Amino acid sequence: MLRTALRNVLAHKARLIMTALAVLLGVAFVSGTLVFADTTANAFRNASARSLQGVAVSVRADQASTAPDSAGGVAGKTTGALDTALVRKISRLPGVDAVRPTVHGQATLAGRDGRPVNADATGQNLATNYLPGKDGKDSHFPMKEGRGPASEDELALDSKTAAKAGYRIGDTVRLATDGPTLSKKLVGIVALDDPWGAAGGTLVLFDTRTAQKLFHHPGQFDEITVAARTGTDESSLTAQVQALLPKEGARATSGAELAAEQSAQIAESTGYLTKTLLVFAGIALFVGVFLIANTFTMLIAQRSREIALLRAIGASRRQVIRSVLIEAALLGLVASAGGFALGLGIATAMRPLLNTTGAELPEGPLVITPSAPLASLAVGVAITVLAAWLPSRKAAKIAPVAALTSVDLAPPARALRVRNVLGTLLAGAGVLVMLHVSTLKGTKESNLLAAMLGGVLTLGGVIVLAPLLSRPLITLAGKVTTRFFGVSGKLAKENALRNPRRTAATASALMIGLALITGLTVGAHSAQHAVAKEATAGLTADYKVNYSSARGLDADSVDKVARVPGVAAAAPITMAQLNTRGRSAVITGTDPKAFGKVARLDFRAGSLHDIGPGRIAVSDEFARRAGLQIGATLDAELGGGMAGSKAAKRKLTVVGIYAKAPTVDQALGTRADVLPYSVTKQFDNLLIKADRGRTGGVERAIRASLDDSPLLQVRSQEQLVKDNNEKVNTVLSMTYGLLGMAVVIAVLGVVNTLAMSVFDRTREIGMLRAIGLDRSGIRQMVRLESVVIALFGAVLGIGTGIFLAWAAGGLTRTSMREYETVLPWDRLGTFLVLALMTGVLAAIWPARRAARLNMLRSIQPS
């Protein structure tokens, strides 16, 4: 039987090539992910090891307290436990070779073109101190050009930041930390080989005094690293350093512990990416199961005479099953080996590909651990054998005599009845679970698990019911093909209906990919629609102005902007905590007159003009929760509940009730009533209305009036929506790329099914040619059959995806109040057209093969 299995693999190379390709692609995805994960983790560990080289002890501040400025506000500077005195004490300990005190902060640059660099992610714009040694150089930051900063008006940049911003040595660099715009001279560019921060960020280097002045106070640091002399015990030195520290505010960590912490963080961050990629690899392999099972089912049908002869000469059913499974294992082994080799290429290409999206993954050699090839081969062989198991059982049931006179029997009706009942139960259970999910709110773990269970049951039910669903849908499509393409169209319909299970298995592979893509697309489009609605609902302002950092806008910023030519109105927005009648809310402070020009509120009672000193309006939702009515007098507490704000009791009167709106919070008052109790004692943002016809040129003037800080954001309504949707679009694009592998495998399934179907129908095609159907008619028949199958899979997939997206959409309503399912008809139409094109392209080779069959040879008895 082993020789038989080997002979069958070699005898059907052409028929198995698509199946092998599907296994190869799926395994390549798995092996590429595993090798990429090992390579990335190793590169991060190497980079981390370089940054910790020579570090015996690290002293870090646990927390830092904010120091208020003379006006009682927040200066943006912090004070901590690490100071110059502590540095001196540590340096005098026995065994200490060197001490490096560092300051960390954030600084956002303006490029040479005046535009902020990475302004949307200021947390990734890092700054620190350049600490030269006796030779005048800092070993942590090797100098590429120029020299290190030595005075308050100088700075250095890393090479990537300098290139991104367009700066060269000698240029004047504009930047901001959390205060006014600064200008400093670029004196050095360093080569950074350190896992400093997040993707796409920047690095600015100051001299130590300047860094302390910007981010702390003179003589204070964020971290102190200690290098030990040769032979010094690291644990003992760590204990000595810890003894010098205050009981609270700082802790000492040994270099080994620090390396272990960073290693754990690296494993966690890379593990999340690995798991995500493996999920999509699993989807691709699951789709491949349909192709493999379909192929072996058709091969067994074609070899029914051969199997019957084996049974007749004494082969047992177990031997037949074993022969088919050995054939599948050999196919899986060869394809998996090729898949692993392709996976190495994928792993190599993945780092530069992800870096184009700003991932900034470190470089490193390709790492191949024994687990990667073993797991790849095991997965490929296991999936192939598992998919071939049911066809092998079918082969073992072939009766020796009956099979000699019958080539391709239709599946027994009872089998389809059992399948239909099972599919109905699965789909029904899935639909019920998803209907329950549609009533849930919030993305807590139990809700997500329920949604996953409902989605799996629904998809599984549709897959099992696909043969039953194929008849009405394909019959409907067949009416169209018959009407427009005549005999070829009718034959295509009949061929697709001839074996419902084969057609369903072929279409199901495409259906799974399209269901997932459609579900994600509908969910993402609905989320984008909700974000756009929340960002602009009730907002008539042309621009929103704010700082990208925690810094607020000064009180005089309103007057500065109002004087800009082309500005019709500027309404300041500030917020504070409001507590009354046992309920908490956020109150928005503004200038009611100006606010009426930049926003639109739907008042249920009272009006915007009624708001004044001591008089507020509340949302209908808060009024209902707190039992408030027009004229109610509140003993309210303003401020408190948030660090930096002082609570004070005030008498407030409710003079208006408005419909809940995303533009304002639960209450609305004057800026004079709210500003003293806000966290920063500054405005959070300005809403600006431009004169009619002046919206295009006023943005630059607004920036100039506010010192044109790199931290300043002046965004139109379109930019607000675009910024909010940018992450969703990025995730959606990556998901399309990852699910594309599953769709490619589904296309291979259509090609393989059609090619083997042509072989099945050789005599039939010969007879059609003999009675007058020409070559173009044969090609058209095969193409239309492919299109009908692809259309069937597309309709099932798109319909299922829409249902799943609708049912699971309710989980986001707690975070997106305006969420509702909105169908992206243009994208759904695109998916349908692409499915039809897939059908046409998949049929090119099988149609050509069918048309080139020799008529006389085809009709000869075998």
Residues 168 and 217 in one domain: yes
**pLDDT, position 657:** 94
Residue 520 backbone phi and psi in degrees, to 5: -65, -40
H or E stretch at 460? helix 445-498
For residue 485, give both structure tokens: 């393409």
**476 within a domain of the structure (yes/no):** yes
Residues 112 and 152 in one domain: yes
Block means of pLDDT (10 residues each) for the chain, length 862 residues? 60 66 81 84 76 83 51 46 88 90 91 81 83 86 92 93 92 87 93 56 91 88 90 89 86 85 76 77 79 74 70 78 84 89 86 67 81 88 86 77 51 65 92 90 82 90 90 89 88 85 82 87 85 74 84 86 89 90 90 90 91 93 91 87 65 92 87 88 90 75 86 83 71 73 75 70 74 84 88 92 89 74 90 87 81 69 54
**277 within a domain of the structure (yes/no):** no
How far is it, in rounded angstroms, from Cα 807 to Cα 454?
A: 10
Helix axes 255-302, 500-536, angle to 10 degrees: 140
Residues 698 and 790 in one domain: no
Q: What angle do CA 508, 511, 514 make, to 5 degrees?
A: 160
Q: Any residues with CB less than 8 A from the CB of 745 and at least 6 apart, and which? A: 22, 25, 26, 284, 287, 288, 291, 509
- DSSP, collapsed to helix, strand or coil, labels residue 203 as strand
Q: Shortest CA distance to 101 belongs to which of 73, 134, 124, 131?
A: 131
Residues 155 and 207 in one domain: yes
pTM of the shown model: 0.71
Among 264, 287, 319, which residue terminates a domain? Answer: 264
Residues 737 and 849 in one domain: yes
**93 within a domain of the structure (yes/no):** yes
In 12-95, DSSP assigns E strands to 57-61, 65-68, 74-79
**495 within a domain of the structure (yes/no):** yes
Among 705, 727, 747, which residue terminates a domain? Answer: 705
Give 228's strand partners.
96
**16 within a domain of the structure (yes/no):** no
**823 within a domain of the structure (yes/no):** yes
Residues 785 and 742 in one domain: yes
Among 230, 264, 298, which residue terminates a domain? Answer: 264
Residues 137 and 256 in one domain: yes
Residues 570 and 677 in one domain: yes
**pLDDT, position 351:** 76
Residues 79 and 211 in one domain: yes
Give 100's strand partners.
225
- Residue-by-residue DSSP string for 386-399: HHHHHHHHHHHT--
Q: How many domains, in total, are found in the chain?
A: 3
**514 within a domain of the structure (yes/no):** yes
User: Do residues 470 and 476 touch, judged by C-beta distance below 8 A?
Assistant: no
Residues 678 and 767 in one domain: no
Residues 839 and 700 in one domain: no
Q: Which amino acid is at 358?
A: G
- DSSP, collapsed to helix, strand or coil, labels residue 302 as helix
**Sign of the Cα pseudo-torsion (607, 613, 615, 616, in order):** positive
Q: What angle do CA 368, 160, 222 make, to 5 degrees?
A: 90
The 10 Å CB-count burial string (b at 16+, else e) for 181-213 is bbebebbbbbebbbbbeeebbbbbbbbbebbbb
For residue 238, give both structure tokens: 């760590």
Q: Any residues with CB less than 8 A from the CB of 717 and at least 6 apart, and which? A: 535, 536, 539, 541, 542
Which residue range forms the structural domain that includes residue 621?
554-705
**752 within a domain of the structure (yes/no):** yes
What Å distances lie between residue 656 and 167, 612, 667, CA to CA? Answer: 54, 11, 10
Residues 503 and 559 in one domain: no
- DSSP, collapsed to helix, strand or coil, labels residue 532 as helix
The 10 Å CB-count burial string (b at 16+, else e) for 229-264 is eeebebeebbebbeeebeeeebebbbbeebbeebee
